[in-house]
Structure 1
Amino acid sequence: MTEKLGLMICGHGSRNKGAVKQFARLAEGLRKRFPQWPVEYGYLEFANPVIHDGLNKLHEQGCTHVLAVPGMLFAAGHAKNDIPSVLNTYQAQHPDMKITYGRELAVDVRMVHAAGARIQEALDAAASDVPRHETLLMVVGRGASDPDANSNVAKITRLLWEGMGFGWAETCYSGVTFPLVTPGLEHAAKLGYKRIIVFPYFLFTGVLVQRIYTAADGVAERYPNIEFIKAGYLNDHPQVIDTMADRVQEILQGANVMNCQMCKYREQVLGFEAEVGLAQESHHHHVEGLGAEAECKLCEEFCTGACEAKVKAAAHHHHDHSHDHSHDGGHDHSHDAKDHSHDHSGDHGHHHHPYPHADHPLGPKSMETGIKK
């Protein structure tokens, strides 16, 4: 029988309508790159269609081999665990359709070019002309309990710093790990630079990006002699779509290799030794399909941050402040969905291995309780 290929783009999902629309535009960009195949997309939670729905559409169109790629910047819990868990469950129910899983966007020269373009757009729109060597770049990552994913943000920072010639550069995170945006910017403001560029290394808009900008405004008020510039996030930059298209080609070429050398579930990563070999569990099954029910009703496409109180309350349920449920277990080097082994027995509640630095004075828990170093 002739194989019929299909492409599935897997996202996390957002309560923000703007973020959902932006992800859909990214998917449309992939449809244009692969017009010979059916292309569908879906989310883990908070938005429709869910991944299961997209796979159903591909199945109905007669696809026998689905190439599934995560619309994720780095490989933390969602890319390593939650998406493969959904794919494995679906393939077990549809043995006539093979699903092969691709890797995340990762550290890639095209992603660095896309990030550089967003930063340059902010510089071009600035009211004053400050030399690069008198400018500090602050790259803000999402933040995860996976040190490998966090370290990749720092690598992006260095590539942008050296590539664009800024006087200094720092990295901070929107949640889960440390330093958070406010303490990170407070530290940066003391280094003596005339301008600070705040760049969210995020794919799409939403409450996390708005939280970053709000934090930047707050620090800027305390340091009126420093010019603060807020750069835009990546969005559907052509280089981002190029990178995702390349991830699809990697699957077909057999070069689909996820970075497992520094994975805390496979190696004795400093400070995370207790997590080697932990079994994988996914907890997204109970929220899959939350679309209109979960959608934020407090703002339209532009997130105003009005839902911050609700997000903080939900953080106690999600164990962090960014909806990044990075409680993933070990993952296999092979990339057929069936080869990412997951335990689907037992409770799929929110079980997170304790983050070893949860009480760090620059981290989420300490910031919330008012602990100061």
Structure 2
Amino acid sequence: MSSSLPSIMICGHGSRDKGAVEEFNQLAVRIQERLPEHHVESGFLEFATPIIRTGLDKLRDAGAKKIVCLPGMLFAAGHVKNDLPSEVNNYAAENADANGGLEMIYAPDLGIDPGLLEAAKQRIEEALEAAGDGVAMADTLLLVVGRGTNDSDANSNVAKVTRMLWEGLQVGWAETAYSGVAFPLVDQALQRVTKMGFKRIVVFPYFLFSGILVTRIYDWADAAGAANPGVEIIKASYLNDHPKVIDAFLGRMQDALNGTGAMNCQLCKYREQIIGHEHDQGAAQVGHHHHVQGIGTEDNAQDRGVHHGHGHHHNHAHGHSHSHDHGHEHAHGHAHGHAHGDAEA
């Protein structure tokens, strides 16, 4: 590994689900394999260890001069807009003089990416192939499930993914649901779509990793199938470590280094008055996860020698300047389904 190259820090959400943590660690291994000359570390915001600060300490102690922090999350809601920037900004301030200066670069979220759409398409096609022939695409309904947050901008991104997959796959119909916080929830959506007359329904969790929420989504799908024997309900896999997912992470890293990867702030409720969220505009940016950092998976989330490089350029390459001129206090944004048991690593 070259000390002259930027180090990489992959910042996961964390989960109490052992499988989700292992999948995140495996993704970090894949990123390290694609970046053999870079020092890569990884860590979690909450519910799993190592925490993000542990990974950043490893990079700093190894002599890192520049760290690019990659949010391991699909869309920018409270964690990406507030909690992770808070972690990165605080660490940067505490280590301003480390090794003669430590530059932290915070990369944007994965966002709506052509490669991720292709990965999603392939996951759905794999499920259709496994189910077998006999049902035309015109008789198939696609239900895309997002995590669900109280950030309407992030929720609307899931709806956009649904529309693009609908047209790309040419299914007969498509709907969007959420695993928590936002509506409709999956069970509510399934109650509706099973009455629409389609022979087959594909339930696709637009998630990076497994976890409590994905398990709940699949349980809802099974229950709907049992209650509607005349409708074939099949479950597509989530994205996981699809090669296109790795490509997207590397793309966000390069965007951050080039200064071209800006987080979309156009409809950010912390910058603009967004209907239904007027009280969030201008709130101060504060992290909210110190009470659960590292909790829940002491044995199953150890740093597996992957050395996942996590670099945060908290200046925010996306222009939020997350010392925030608009101050993201995402006390609201991180509600993200926590009441349902944080399940995304």
Q: Do they superpose with TM above 0.5?
A: yes
Deviations 1:59-107 (A, max 9, x none): 1110011011101000001111111111111111111311110011100
CA drift of 1:334 comes to: 3.8
Cα 1:364/1:97, change in 2 over 3 Å: closer
CA drift of 1:141 comes to: 0.3
CA drift of 1:3 comes to: 5.1
Unmatched segments (≥5 aa) in structure 2? 302-313, 341-345
Is residue 57 of structure 2 the alignment partner of residue 52 of structure 1? no
Cα distance in 2, alignment partners of residues 340 and 354 from structure 1: 16
- Residue correspondence of structure 1 range 2-151 to structure 2 within 5 A: 4-95=5-96, 96-151=101-156
Tell me, yes or no, if the aligned pair for 1:108 and 1:243 is still in contact at 8 Å: yes
**Identity across aligned pairs (percent)?**
52
SS at match of 2:83: helix
Q: Structure 2 residue aligned with 1:232, among 234, 237, 250? A: 237
Cα distance in 2, alignment partners of residues 207 and 221 from structure 1: 21
User: Partner residue of 1:318?
Assistant: none
Tell me, yes or no, if the aligned pair for 1:144 and 1:176 is still in contact at 8 Å: yes
User: Partner residue of 1:164?
Assistant: 169
Cα 1:220/1:286, change in 2 over 3 Å: same
Cα distance in 2, alignment partners of residues 338 and 150 from structure 1: 19
Q: Structure 2 residue aligned with 1:260, among 259, 265, 287? A: 265
TM-score (norm 2): 0.86
Deviations 1:234-263 (A, max 9, x none): 000000000000000001111020000011
TM-score (norm 1): 0.80
**Higher RCO (CA 8 Å, separation ≥ 6 residues):** 2
Counterpart amino acid of 2:73? M
Cα distance in 2, alignment partners of residues 364 and 263 from structure 1: 21
User: Partner residue of 1:340?
Assistant: 322
- Residue correspondence of structure 1 range 142-291 to structure 2 within 5 A: 142-291=147-296
CA drift of 1:352 comes to: 3.8
Deviations 1:252-287 (A, max 9, x none): 111020000011111122222222111222111222
Tell me, yes or no, if the aligned pair for 2:10 and 2:41 is still in contact at 8 Å: yes
Counterpart amino acid of 1:246? G
Counterpart amino acid of 2:243? P
SS at match of 1:139: strand
Tell me, yes or no, if the aligned pair for 2:149 and 2:333 is still in contact at 8 Å: no
Task: Note the aligned Cα RMSD (angstroms).
Answer: 2.7
Counterpart amino acid of 2:203? V
Cα distance in 2, alignment partners of residues 33 and 211 from structure 1: 33
Q: How many residues align?
A: 318
Cα 1:291/1:91, change in 2 over 3 Å: farther
Cα 1:215/1:87, change in 2 over 3 Å: same
The runs of 4+ residues in structure 1 deviating greater than 4 Å are 293-296
Cα distance in 2, alignment partners of residues 340 and 352 from structure 1: 16
User: Partner residue of 2:305?
Assistant: none
CA drift of 1:30 comes to: 1.1
